[in-house]
Structure 1
Amino acid sequence: MIYRVVLAVVLATALVAATLGPIDDARRQRASAMVSDQASDLERAADTLLETDDPIGGPGARRVVTLRVPVRTWTSGGVERVSLRPSTDQTPARLSWLLTGGQPRTRQLPGVPLRTADGSPVVLRRSGPHRLVISLDGQPGVPVLTVRRLK
C-alpha cells in the first residue's frame, strides 16, 4: 500500500515539474499580448488625432489613453517596465516592455510622430493603470504629437 502512495506522489511531482515551464511561457506570452494590444490602442488614438484634428500653433486637441502594466498572476506573467520612446529623424516611436523573467520586447509605431516634452522616454514601472495624454502640437501642416503622463 505504501508503495502506491509513494509512486503516486512521485508521478504527480514529475507531472507538475514537466508543466511548469510551458505554463510560465504561456503567462509571458499573455502579458506580452496585453501590452502589444495596448500599443495598438495608443497607435489608433494617435492616428485618429492626426486624421480628425489640425495643429493650430498653440494648445490643440488631445486624447487620454490608459496603459495597464500587467501584474504577475496565475494566468499572466508580470511586466517589470514599459517605456514609450519618442520618434527621431532616424527611428519611429516605439513601445518597449520587459517581461518578468523574460526578454525585452519592442513594437514600433511607424507614422506616429510622437515626442515627449524633454525628449526622454516615458517609463512606467508600477503595475496597474497609467493615464497618458497625447496632445496635438506643431504648426498647420506639420503636426507633432506630444505624450506625457496625466497627473
Structure 2
Amino acid sequence: MRERRPLFERGERSSGNCSLPVVPRPRALSFSCGLSREGKKMSFVVPKRAGVTLKQVKSILVTFCPFETNVESTRNFLQCLYTKKACASNTNCEVKTDVKHDGSEPVINITFADGDRLIMKGANLTIREMLSAFNSRCEAKELLAEKVQKKSS
C-alpha cells in the first residue's frame, strides 16, 4: 500500500476551506520604482540638469526586446520620459512602447514637431549619451522656434 502524505507540511497553512497548500506567488519585477531585482538601488544616475522637456517633440517610439542584455539604458531613457516634469512639458506628445520578443536591437525613434527625426540605437549607448543627444537637439529646436517667433512678432 502507498504511504499517505499529509496535505500540508509544517509551516504551511490553508486559505479558507480550501484543502490545497498555499503556494507563494512569484514577486513581480518592478523597474519603475528605481530598485533592481535584489532590492538595491539601480546603477544609473540621471545628471541633475538632464531633465527631459518634450516641448518640440511630436511622438516617441521605443522598441526593445526585454530579454536582451543591452536594453538597460533604453529602459532608463523610457523611465525619464515618464517623469512628471517631462509629461507636463508637452501633454500632446505621444510616447509608445513596442516590446518585442525577437532579439531585436533597442531603438528609440523620436519625431519632432517640424518633421525632423532622431533615431538612437540604444545597444551601445549609455543613458547619459542618449539624454545629451536628445536634450541638445531639443534645445536647438527651441532656440530656432523662439527666433522664428521673434521675427514674426
The two structures have a TM-score, normalised by structure 1, of 0.29
Computing the radius of gyration from Cα coordinates, the structure with the larger value is 2
Higher strand content, 1 or 2: 1
Higher helix content, 1 or 2: 1
The two structures have a TM-score, normalised by structure 2, of 0.28
